[in-house]
Amino acid sequence: MATIDTTKLLATSTPEDRAAECKAIMDKLSEADLVKIDATLASLKAVIADKSKQAANGRAGALGFLCALHAKFGHAAESVLVPLLPDALEALADKLKPVSFEADKFAQSLISKLSEHGVKSVMPMLLAEYESKWQTNLGRAQLIGMIAKAFPAQTGRCINDIIPVLSTLMWDVKPQVKEEATAAMQTCAATCKNKDIKDTIPEIIQCILEPEKVAETVHKLAGVVFVQDIEGSALAIMCPLLKRGMDEPTTSIKRNVARIVENMSKLVDDPYEIEPFVPILLPQLKRAKEEVSDPECRNVCEKAYSQLELTSKKAPIWARIERAKVLASLNTAAAGAKLHEATANYAVGLALSMLDLKLLDEALWKTALTPHLKLTLPAAKIEGVVKSWLEVCAKDVHIEEEKEEVDDAEQLCDCQFSLAYGNKVLLNQTVLKLKRGFRYGLCGKNDSGKTSLMRAIANQQVEGFPPPTELRTMFVETDVQGEAKDGSGKLLSELSVLDFVANHAGLKHYGVTEAMAREKLLSVGFAEDATPNPDGTMPAADLTKQVGRLSGGWRMKVALTRAMLMKADILLLDEPTNHLDPGNVKWVIDYLTSLTHVTSIIVSHDIKVLDQVCTHVLHIENLKLKMFKGNLSYVAENHVPALLSYFELKATKFHMRFPTPGMLEGVSSKGKHIMKMTNISFTYPGAPKAQLTGVTVRVSLATRAACIGANGAGKSTMIKLLTGELEPDKGSGEVWKHPNARVAYVAQHAFHHIEHHLDLTPNEYIRWRYEHGSDKEGVEKVTTKLTPEDEEAMKKPFIIDVEAVDKNGAKVIKQEKRVFNRFTDGRRQMQKSKEQEYEINWVGDMNFTTWVSRAKLVAAGPVWVKLLKHCDERIAAKATQLVRPLTQKVVEGHLADVGLEAEFATHSRMGALSGGQKVKVVLAGSMWNTPHIVILDEPTNYLDRDSLGAMAEAINAYEGGIVIISHNAQFVDQVCPEVWHLENHTLNLKGSYDWLESANKEAAKLEKQADSYIDGQGNEIKVQKAKKPASKAELKKIKKEIADKRKSGIECYTDEELEAAGFLVEQ
């Protein structure tokens, strides 16, 4: 049947008549007629195009015919009906409802029953621009959403073209179109297989509607860890956000976008995948690198531009198959058979879709193509045509080679993946193979991605890594952060050791009971409770102790105990011997080497540990992960000579510099003590025996002291006593610090300083921390904390001297009772007595202040001692403000001094930094106020050898005092000649011969030169010298001064004061 008479159909005016006429025509048609009705379809196309009112019935009838044809022949009719879809889309906006109804019915029928690989042929029609009304745009958005939901894989390959069109429709003036386009955008974005940006997709889409959210979303995207292949779908979804980011006026946002583009470009192997980026972002990057005012930002944009351009010009990893070539190969395979043009073109579209998805299964091709090829080819010939056609096309598709086994051990995983933060690429298309029972040492330079890789594995973010149902993987770490998940609202650090282990969600899932947890914890050295040991001492750790109060060594034992109970297949250990004394280090080594059926990945800076434990080395270099058999020394000797350079204590990567401390009043020599503890004892509440007894230490600007001792010996306790965080036992001795001395204390578990500010950059964090002069993160010290009794004492009237004028106009000194309001932070030194005075504002008059001597304030009660310490600390902190203004540029330089480059210091949020980088932030934050004394509790944790070498050089060059708690013997030996050894609850001082000789010379020099010292209250006290009789002239001068003072109502010199001045007063 070559032609069809549609005259009656086009003249019908009711739906019932149209349906009847369509049925009559369909009854006469067979499947073979589909390739013979081209003339009929062409005439119907012309009818639909006639927009006159008189042709309305004809338009409705023509669209009804198309719908009936599809309903009868289904997939076989697609080749002739799909080309007419644009006409139906135009008809959706027809003013006459019967026409728009039939158009919608046909479009919905065609799309809802479309062949899965027909998407590639249909989508260009839905994305084309139409000049008709909003109804067409509404229909387009609806149909795109339907396709995305039904065929996600095929839609994902078209998403590069979909995103720009839907983005435009989301700004349509019609609410219906806007709403439908937004829903379609969400459905299309959900087809993206990249799990890394899954959580960010809703925010990226929202930025299309609310551009003011671009800055925050760019920051969030910059912190995403990418571990999956970067494909066109992920890039296309990010493209609108990045384009808007480049349009932002803020330089930092432009810079972040440029860095993201640069690094994502590096992760794309196939240049075809980056096509959505090139025409949109390349011109913007070019403009930015030429026009942005900030030279550093221009440099970043230049790098991004070069990388994007380079990637776009790379040779493809597989040849893109062009339509003309596929059509020619079909004609060749058909061996001269005459093919129907529309059918052949549609079949080529199906083939291109399957090739794009690398689907080369012959059965799949036969199923998809047979309904169309059988219209013009004999059934017996179809199978051969499909087979030969596939063979020709498959040669142009790149298929990954199969990976081969390298040994006989059980293989746990074999995956290929990429790893990156939004602004830093760490690994690109690298392979990870793990075997059961092997212990892998993970090595690489600082910030190469060692910890990030292990966290990505633990969080199931590595593409191709077996799920937890197949492999039990445990990340062993000592940090205890977050809240308990039992509904109690407690922090994890507040849980007891037993509850922390027994209530772990992962362990409960594997059936671990509280009894099992107790047994395992007791086996590794924990005590049952806090009952004293037979010798009267307290146990170092027990099951009832809060996890947050454990030392680092015991925390590591808790973490390893959880791994034991989980019976993990893979252990991921990040610095497992940090915080541990030699005895516990041996325990960890013995435990790991005993695990013959458990695989371990270990990051450590200890060569001896890696040599004794590792069977293999995983080396990160040039964005790739390479595996070598053997321990660290063997691999370094035979494969990677540079490997040991990671473990040499040299500053080869960068230099670190500590800020120069300011001058201290009354301190003319570096050997003069500015902090000291004398005969101090300390007992924890409820403990039967003192933790420390008779501890005496002295700290000066020349101090380089290492505090060593076993875990739980009290090293951190002693430091907290020295800094005032803890108060010693009453009557045990004296703790004193020069009132102007600034002290930086970096605690053992350093991350707690910044864990609440991870959405700030390091630069922003330091500026926030010191914006009011004093340190907001400063620990509240027990020795300065005001008690309710202190607050009551502050309300008592204070007798002060007030200058007044009597009735004769003469100046007199009167005494008044006033109530303290606040210190103004004014402080001065009296010229004659050299005693310090403080300016105080009194209650009742905000403008009324007087100067009161330190001695008088101290004599008024202990509350004034605490208030004076607060005031001295504020004055000391403010002393740095004039020297170091709190600006972005100055803070950036300060961060650079501790080894944190501008990329991470100013342009990366702290949540995206590595462990080593976070420690540098903590160090920089603690040292912003140019301290005179730096106290470092386990500073070597999370720092690689480059960083340790740089820190050692910085300590040696530092002009202030250093006190270090560390188990790293190599580091301590290099920088600390003086040793404070805590053992048996007391302190033994040791030092090298050279240091002792130098210290003795300095002490002798001081003894000879000293004529004053600062007492415990900060007063400068003159050293008594041999008294000499006063001469007559001197006594006459003294008597005159006494008479003048008495006349003015001022206190006179006493005999004691005269003797203190060095005179013998004659009676």
Amino acid letter, residue 66 = L
CA 827, CA 89: separation in Å to the nearest integer?
83
**Reduced to 3 states, what is the DSSP secondary structure of residue 718?**
helix
- The whole-number pLDDT of residue 406 equals 53
Half-sphere exposure of 425 (CA within 13 A, CB side): 25
Q: Which domains does the chain have, with CATH numbers?
A: 1-114 (no CATH), 323-394 (no CATH), 411-647 (3.40.50.300), 673-781+885-1008 (3.40.50.300), 783-878 (no CATH), 1028-1064 (no CATH)
Contact 501, 562 (CB under 8 A): yes
Distances (CA, A) of 259 to 36, 486, 530: 58, 41, 54
Residue type present at position 482 = G
| 283 in Cβ contact with 240 (< 8 Å) | no
- Give just the sign of the alpha carbon dihedral 70, 74, 80, 83: positive
| Pair of tokens at residue 731 | 């009557």
pLDDT at 651: 44
φ and ψ of 762, to 5 deg: -55, -40
- C-alpha 323 chain-centroid distance: 46
Listed as ranges, residues in the chain with pLDDT below 50 are: 1, 401-405, 651, 992-997, 1010, 1013-1018, 1021, 1025-1026, 1065-1067
pTM of the model: 0.56
Hunting for tokens 């001269």 — which residue is that? 336
Contacts of 723 (CB under 8 A, 6+ apart): 743, 745, 779, 781, 935
- Residue 339 has what pLDDT? 86
Buried b (16+ CB within 10 A) or exposed e, 554-588: bbbbbbbbbbbbbebbbbbbbbbbbbbbeebbebb
